[in-house]
Amino acid sequence: MTTAPAATPSPAAGPSSQVAVGGTAAAPDPRGGASRRRPRAAGWLAVLPLIVFVLVVFGLPAFAILTNAFKTSAGDPGGQRWTTDNLSQSVHGAYLTALWGSVKLSALTAALGVLLGLPLAHAVVTSRFRALREGVLAASGVLANFGGVPLAFAFVATLGNSGELTRLLNLGAHGWSLYSFTGLTLVYLYFLVPLMVLAITPALDGLRTQWREAAQNNGATTLQYWLHVALPVLAPSLLGGFVLLFGSAFAAYATAAAIVGSSVPLITLQIANALSGNVLVGQGNVALALSLDMIVIAGVVMALYIPLQRRSARWLH
Amino acid sequence: MAALTSPTAAGRPPKPAGRRRPRVWRGIVGIVAAVYFLGPMAFSVLFTVNVPGEGLTLSSYRGIFGAEGFGSSLRLTLELAAATIAVTMLLLVPALIAVRLSAPRLRVLVEVLCSLPLVVPAVALTAGISSVLQWGPDDFADTPLFEIFNSAQNPGFPVVLLLAYVLMALPLAYRTLDAGLRALDLTTLVEAARNCGANWPRTVVQVILPNLRGALLNTAFLTLALVLGEYTVASILGYRPFAVWIVSIGGSDAQMSVSVSVLSLVLTWALLVLLATAGRGRSARPARRTRDSAATAPHTVQETS
């Protein structure tokens, strides 16, 4: 492929191309108004497939969740009726426990992820070695998307019942179990901390050295600098990072499913169980109601995240 | 990777006393991070070669290729990955170029469309999809739509998975491509190409896409990583791509499932390295000088302006 743009200018276009390149905005379009309209229509045409795709592939399932969550199951003897039973079932009993378990796990891991990700990101950002920085950021990109089956098996091999470290240190005798709330917390941090590093690095880059120097010149200690300058500036990004991590942990399914099966109550595991009819047949619409609960929580999380991100973006430029 | 932090910190030239503590601090952070992030990887490798009673052996790796279902599940995943990358690019690249060039008012719409999948967790999306797939037999049994529903669920190549994966790839792909496009002066490039007599397809293929190479490669890699590791949608809908296969053999042969995990990880890292070397020449970002100038104080004033 030719990488140089416009390698061979045709002689005829010479002068006009210079005008266009020199003053793109100011130069009057020689082709007049008619051809200006065409690109706009072409623009719509180019965006149209994306719109149609999202409307169908996202819209149909969303519509199905919204309607069927409020209906009795199709095989019901009395025919399909509108009902709020599914929704009330989804916030009672075992389902409520699972919902609460998910919220607790996500909040705890997100908080830990923020606390651990910040020093790591700071150490990387303030390093003078570009290669280290690029390397850690690239690794974070991989690890942040590494949630799922390989991650689960890496931890099972390390800290599971017959894992290498468990056997080596005889952790089982000390009451260690990977297949628990604590175990899952440890595993989740493996992809949440890198995610935090990715999320906070731009904000840390935005911390100007001059601010630190100004604080030092005014006699501030490192602690004072962090408390009164750096953390207030970083606060929106840290909160935004927390929200992002929370959402990510809340939606995680594969890791938990591959490690604990269903011994830790989590909402994602309950939905999968209800869908595959492992618990009771005909729970499909309860699964949809549970999904609706999840979407509401994830929606609130996103609604918090976007303004926080906008606010923190102010410091980046 | 993070293991490099400690030698880095130790090898720095001496500095005034006030700045020494952060170096120690950085070393500790680096070591803890290295242990936590490299530990599980190292122990998984050890787990696969250390068979109790047999000593160190590579037998679990040798068994992989002959294992039942390995070839078919890997092929399905790679096909899905290729199709997902192609569809994502075909949907996003023209839309994003158009938004930049001629329809800036659509920008918010495109951003919202591409961020929507973030609100619906994969499990919830799967619940919705399986509910929609129920409509096939329930409501459209006698119509041509039923055929479409059926062929979308063909286990040989489940289009429904492809659609779900493209949807799940949209947010990341959008951000990566948008960042790549932002770094280009697209209007100037296009006007230059057009004034030189290039038609639209040629402008896009020979001018815009080569300049976007870094972002395109990144998008392809992220999408590939997503499809390679995707378990949620496929397992609940009952298909058997690679990740689902790994879990299913994990029940009978834990060692082999860990070896396959290790292999898939090595594959992902190899792809990343390939991507980094391929993208290096093009996607060189403007160097950040704020940090580097910290050592040379006189420059810092100019940097603020």
Q: How far apart are CA A287 and CA B299, in angstroms?
A: 60
**Residues in chain A closer than 8 A to B261 (CB atoms):** 149-150, 153-154
Query: Tens digit of pLDDT for each residue in A149-182?
Result: 878 888 888 887 777 787 777 777 777 777 888 8
Q: How many residues does chain B have?
A: 305
User: In the numeric block, which tokens belong to residue A275?
Assistant: 């869908």
Query: Tens digit of pLDDT for each residue in B119-140?
Result: 888 888 888 888 888 776 666 6
Task: Please count the residue pairs, one from chain A and one from chain B, whose beta carbons lie less than 8 angstroms apart.
Answer: 325
Q: How far apart are CA A317 and CA B8, in angstroms?
A: 29
Q: Is the pLDDT of residue A47 over 60?
A: yes
Q: Judge contact between B47 and A164, C-beta under 8 A.
A: yes
**Residues in chain A closer than 8 A to B269 (CB atoms):** 142
The answer to whether residue A299 neighbours chain B at the CB level (below 8 Å) is yes
Angle at the Cα of A39 (from A33 to A41), degrees rounded to 5? 105
Nearest to A25 by CA among B203, B196, B107, B185: B185
Query: Tens digit of pLDDT for each residue in A116-139?
Result: 988 888 888 887 777 778 778 877
- Could you tell me which residues come within 8 angstroms of residue A190 by beta carbon, excluding any fewer than 6 positions away? A143, A146, A151, A155, B36, B37, B40
The answer to whether residue A217 neighbours chain B at the CB level (below 8 Å) is no
- What pLDDT does residue A14 have? 38
Instruction: Tell me which residues of chain A, numbers 33 to 72, contact chain B at a CB-CB cutoff of 8 Å.
Output: 39-40, 42-47, 49-51, 53-54, 57-58, 60-62, 64-65, 68
Determine whether the interchain pair A49/B91 forms a contact, defined as Cβ–Cβ distance below 8 Å. yes
pLDDT category at B283 given cuts 50, 70, 90 is very low
Determine whether the interchain pair B102/A42 forms a contact, defined as Cβ–Cβ distance below 8 Å. yes
Query: Tens digit of pLDDT for each residue in B190-229?
Result: 888 888 888 877 888 888 888 888 888 888 888 888 888 8
Residue B52, classed as helix, strand or coil, is coil
**Residues in chain A closer than 8 A to B282 (CB atoms):** 3
Q: How far apart are CA A160 and CA A177, in angstroms?
A: 7
DSSP of A190-240: HHHHHHHHHHHHHHHHHS-HHHHHHHHHTT--HHHHIIIIIHHHHHHHHHH
**Residues in chain B closer than 8 A to A271 (CB atoms):** 123-124, 127
Determine whether the interchain pair B127/A209 forms a contact, defined as Cβ–Cβ distance below 8 Å. no
Instruction: Calculate mean pLDDT across residues A293-302.
Output: 86
Instruction: Calculate mean pLDDT across residues A282-290.
Output: 77
- What pLDDT does residue A32 have? 41
- Could you tell me which residues come within 8 angstroms of residue A19 by beta carbon, excluding any fewer than 6 positions away? A27
The tokens 């962090």 sit on which residue? A226
Between the alpha carbon of residue A68 and those of residues A63, A84, A129, A296, B171, the distances in Å are: 8, 10, 55, 16, 27
Q: Judge contact between B261 and B246, C-beta under 8 A.
A: yes
Q: How far apart are CA B297 and CA A210, in angstroms?
A: 9
